[in-house]
Structure 1
Amino acid sequence: MTLPRTNTFSGLSLILDRLAERRDELDWVAEQAADVDARYILLDSLGETYLLPGRDALRWLSAEERKLLADTPASFLGHAQDRPHFLLTVDDADLALELETQLGAIRLSLREAGLLLPADEAGLFAYAKGLAHWQRETRFCAYCGSPLQLVSSGHRAQCTNTVCGRMHFPRTDAAIIVIVEHEGACLLGRQAGWPPGRYSTLAGFIEPGESLEDAVRREVAEESGVIVGEVHYHSSQPWPMPASLMVGFTAKAIDPTIRLRDRELEDARWFTPEQIVDGLRHGSFGVPSKLSVSYQLLASWLRLRANLELDALIP
């Protein structure tokens, strides 16, 4: 099955069975790893992976090639296309470089590869990168400081202190991202370090004890001064850069007055579809990366409000 290209990295459940209930069955996992059809995605210490040059495809390691890293534990990702999939990480920079030559591959980051790869491979890369980041960052127990040991095929980490024995699980930082509208215009902002003319939807992290809808209202007010009323869910996107989940919303302003408060944004403006079209035509307006749910929020809004396709508008 080929995944639809909606939000990048999304839709993985259509082709992947994570088989989470079997991660603790060591003999079964070992059988999967020895399967001749097993394949392994390899990530270096920066979270970059290996691609086939000029092919826009992952350079998977076969079960036989897995012997190149025989001493490296593998994390079970699940079954896709009736094949077991695993993650391998290589922290040694010299070895990572050597493997490029051995595998006839190049290394790219998730940002670089996200739109080059087929949707299923982009999603698997994102999954592997998020898991590898958590493994690399979660080395010691947050309760007693003792070293942790990866268990459950790499999806849990257990404290080695028998008195403590706490279990640690992968964490995801939830963030909202929203396109706000008012009287036929949408609210977009820009940060100072962005390329000239680029604007994007507003976003921010969820705070403790806060609903997603309340986070939308707070973040929009904090960043732009605009007061939001109605909030509706749009879609979500895994964003393991390094460990986020972007939850997309649409919202309506009840007070559209822009008052930049904390200077997180260099500028914020209301844009009509006509202004966006003119800005794209003259090069004075830049859209967010197609990799992001922000792009999809803007594209969806333009389609709904003006029957315009953002892809067709970009030169």
Structure 2
Amino acid sequence: METIYLEHSNTGLSFIESQPCVFALGFFDGVHFGHQRLIQTAKRISEEKGVPLAVMTFYPHPRQVFDKNNAPIKYLTPLHRKQEVLRNMGVDKLFIVKFDPNFAKLSPEDFVEQYLIYYGCIHVVAGYDYTYGYKGHGNIETLKKSGQGRFEVTVVNKISYNKEKIGSTQIRQLVSEGEMEIIPKHLGSYYKVNGYIARSHLLKNDMQELVIKIDADYLVPQEGHYQIQLNVHNILYHGTIQKISIRDNYTLLYAYIYEDFNLSIGSLVDVKWLKSIYVPGMENINVV
């Protein structure tokens, strides 16, 4: 997958040799069931047309730009994780547009001309509620009008669970509240973060303690005990999260592992959050 970073300026766009592409549009935080259907639809159309599939997304989240008083935005899929997921879904090109005040002022018409037409779009796939351009004035209907005679538009309808739309906002709320066992109904898999082992030692009760360092951009659940599964070098381990420590530039997860575990500091690890639990006796373990 080719990744192309774009930044809007008053001096013009980055020159990139364009080729006809099918474009999937969205922010895609979490890459949940709705996003998956959208990208799969775009992939099918790109294969039918014999052209590459391009995804155009944005970073950072618009809320980070518009509300300076907000704490830094936490993501279900920080940018590096999103790139990995999209690559595995068969995306050929990933356009990452820097969302800043200059880009936010762009009219819907200029967005179409300078970002879709300019970079070779022949077919757009977007969600039914997709908006774009200054203050979100552009929508699916304006996109269809702008595309007449130039590109086609396919709209992906809402996907629901328990009569509610599956969306990144709802999933972020579930993660924040520690409702980890419900998340597969929205994502298609358990919530995962990745990082590396920062510390490891044996406890008095023969359990192993790991301290896992993850990117500060990851959204993590509220304090509590969580059943987890770790993947280290494609070997699975089971245990619990006992403590979550959020710092300015990173987050530390204190995990207790039940199987024999002998891995070096710095080993990469995927953490799959299975469910929130109460573990009798764990409150007596001294975590430093």
Report the TM range for the smaller structure's normalisation. under 0.3
Could you tell me the TM-score, scaled by structure 1's length?
0.24
Name the one with the larger helix percent. 1
Could you tell me the TM-score, scaled by structure 2's length?
0.26
Name the one with the larger strand percent. 2
